Amino acid sequence: MTPTKLYCDFFGHNYEVTRKVTNHVKEYTCKCCKKQLTTNSNGQLIELTPKYEEINSALERIYNNRRLRLKQKTISSSIY
């Protein structure tokens, strides 16, 4: 066990948002021990496993595509 891990166990993790996947799903990394968390579909914080990293990447793609389409729709509707 490393000293930083001990610090986290004692004082709690010091998470910061490292990636915004959607409005509701974010990835967090602890500044001390680099432990990573993410939001799952129920809105709960869970450990970021490679499987969830994959899910988040897919989510991000869908989310960005949808946002892009919405933006294009707004542009074309403002022309008429």
Q: Which residues bind Zn ion (CB under 5 A)?
A: 8, 13, 30, 32-33, 35
Residue type, 27: E
CB of 48 to Zn ion, least distance (A): 13
CB of 13 to Zn ion, least distance (A): 4
CA 14 vs CA 7, 51, 57: distances in Å: 10, 23, 24
CB nearer to Zn ion: pick between 25 and 32: 32
CB nearer to Zn ion: pick between 47 and 54: 47
Residue 60 has a CB neighbour count (10 Å cut-off) of 16
